[in-house]
Amino acid sequence: MEITETIPAYRLNEEEEKKEILRQYRALLRALKSKLKPGDKELLRHAFEMAAEAHKTMRRKSGEPYILHPLAVAKICVEEIGLGIRSTICALLHDTVEDTDITLQDIQREFGNEIAKIVDGLTKIATVMDSNTSQQAENFKKILVTLTDDPRVILIKLADRLHNMRTLDSMKREKQLKVSSETVYVYAPLAHRMGLYNIKTEMEDLAMKYMEPDSFRFIAQKLQDTKRERTRYINDFIRPLKHKLDNTGLQFEIFGRPKSIHSIWNKIKKKGVAFEEVYDLFAIRIIVDSSPEKEKEDCWKIYSIITDAYNPSTERLRDWLSNPKSNGYEALHTTVMGPQGKWVEVQIRTKRMNEIAEKGLAAHWKYKEGTSEENRFDKWFEQIREALTGQEDSSFDFLQDFKTSFLTEEIYVYTPKGDVKMLPLGATALDFAFGVHTAVGSKCIGAKVNHKLVPISHKLRSGDQIEIITSAKQKPNSEWLNFVVTSKAKSKIKDTLKEEKRTIAEDGKYILQRKLEGMHVSMSQNNLEELSNFYKTGNSLDLLYDIARKKIDLKELKEFTVLGDKLIAPKPEPKPVEEKKEYDPAKKEKKDTELIIFGESSDRIVYSIANCCKPIPGDDVFGFVTTGEGLKIHRTNCPNAARLLANYGHRVVKTKWVKNKEISFLTGLKIIGLDDVGVIHKITNLISGEMKFNIAAMTIEAKEGIFEGNVKIFVHDKEELDELVEKLHSLPGIERVDRFDTE
């Protein structure tokens, strides 16, 4: 779903547009050709005509007829996700109930219950995810309920989101930021969890294009510049392998493909290396045509040939043949030392495995037909259903828990009897204990991992064997919440703590009741709410708990007014209003409110700079309305940006810098290089002598011939900073210069 506008009946190039719509419809039919059964074509045409008629007066923001969007979404469903006829019909109709006069009853009457149910799920998601008034996380649970009812709902929604990302150019900047961050925060991990690796990758790349445009362009350009030499290198690497594989008689394809821009950027940031030093810029993929019973054997045979030709890195062998990921991914990955001292990742899959890697969940259904094996997705949906029941957390906490429990990479561990358990990356012995059973988790006092005693907070690794040690005297405490990542463990611990809290709160209830009886008022819900608001406890359970724990002694009750049976809290004394100081890092000038323009006008608005990312003029930024702290300015690549934009899109304010050379902003540079005589002098000479920057602080540490320096300086804008970084880079012996956010 997206913002549209209604247009007059008269349009330019109407004939051309009609031709384009028909072209796209025919392309959709061609993509579906192998799946069409008798009667399907008529049904599809009916859905297409119904959608085209319903959307006929609507346009996308780009100006094109709206019907091209459902057609494009349907095509993604067929070609890139591998869905069939019914899903295609749902994709064509996915926006009709929300945006047009067509009702769910109309769809049910024309196409039956199954299609109506999926369209209903899609309509619910659209209402949830595109609402500007509430937090995006607020109704995320509803999406998951529809996902577990019929996974096709989320698959079609992913196709819808992918097409919106591909056509985001025509949207306003703040809408681009909101949609991109939401995509990278929720939809890309969901696509990955559904096994749709290509869609996940494209979503991340497109989101980066809008959230970090400079970095995106930099890497895209680098990939373009090095394309020729990479192609030559891949061919040199493949040549000896191809020759050896030809002699095995196996039917195979072998090719190289570059890593995504987003994953290269992550590596550059995580490993702290330059583009040229990212060792596996591309992966070699070998796809073998194997019969089901020979799949493993053939993959290991190919592995043996590769490691004969090139030396493997033993730490980087990933065997997902024996233990597939729970999104169904099966493959063998190894990283080998190729020519010219470059590491190369090699992925080995069969045709069936490749289809599952490309099409995820949809391919699973295809291969599941006729087998009795319980699908890994079914298990996953079962876990989600379990997580959804009895959830009383705030939606935001729930979304955080959901991401760590269900959308991250997994590890596999073993029970003492040798059964395999899948857990999210970062899971602890305590997570494992709750995974076995709630009673085991609640009584857990420690564990033996690979026969060695470890605490409950011990982080598990793939391949560990775990035995849980329990005690009847043990019970959960609030600290346990810091030791677990799974949704199940968190909710069970919270339930136990809440139960304990209720027991203690009974004492508080008795104390309060006696006080209120003395004032001749009852303990009504209204009175409890009035007291909760006054003591800022959030709810009545916390109020009674704090009274029992003597955190609240109720002495202020005598200041309350009693009106009939109603308590009225005293009005707080009005405090003298302090004038909010404008942000002034250099403590010199007071003109920094002129630095940004908000919306379309250049009103002077008081704001503060976010400490998490410390933006400076020239950085790509957005304004965020906080509760209690006014407007804060964040960089779009701030570590918290995706979370804020995805969950609180309605609080984002459009911002841009205005040139103002009178104000200085504090920022930091980390400089690493060879510890040579005079190198520090050269650095300080360049910063304060040549470029006239004011140095606020400088620390230098030298160890074994390498020095690491942190310099805090005042700059006017990003342009100046970039110029300084370039000049520092050109000094002899300087290896790296990175910006860091000052405290």
Q: Could you say which DSSP state residue 5 is in?
A: E
Q: Could you say which DSSP state residue 462 is in?
A: T
Count the residues in the chain: 743
- Strands (DSSP E) contained in 259-364 are 282-288, 311-312, 318-319, 332-337, 343-350
- Does the annotation count 98 as an active-site position? yes
Q: How far apart are CA 239 and CA 727, in angstroms?
A: 43
- 113-129 vs 140-149: helix axis angle to the nearest 10? 160
Alpha helices in 37-187 (DSSP H): 40-54, 68-79, 85-92, 96-99, 104-111, 113-129, 140-149, 152-166, 173-182
Count CB atoms within 10 A of the CB of residue 234: 20
- Does the annotation count 355 as an active-site position? no
Instruction: State phi, psi for 232 to the nearest 5 degrees.
Output: -60, -40
Catalytic residue among 17, 20, 79, 98: 98
**Could you tell me if residue 85 is left (phi over 0), alpha (psi between -120 and 50 degrees) or otherwise beta?**
alpha
| Residue-wise burial string across 626-644, b where 16 or more C-beta atoms lie within 10 A, e elsewhere | eeeeebbbbbbbbeebbbb
Catalytic residue among 99, 106, 495, 722: 99
Instruction: State phi, psi for 333 to the nearest 5 degrees.
Output: -115, 135
- Strands (DSSP E) contained in 603-703 are 608-609, 621-625, 631-635, 652-653, 655-657, 665-674, 694-703
- 152-166 vs 113-129: helix axis angle to the nearest 10? 50
Count CB atoms within 10 A of the CB of residue 129: 22
Q: Could you say which DSSP state residue 34 is in?
A: G
Q: How far apart are CA 150 and CA 118, in angstroms?
A: 7
Q: Helix and strand tally (H, E) in the chain?
A: 28, 25
Alpha helices in 536-684 (DSSP H): 540-548, 641-647, 679-684
Active site residues: 98-99
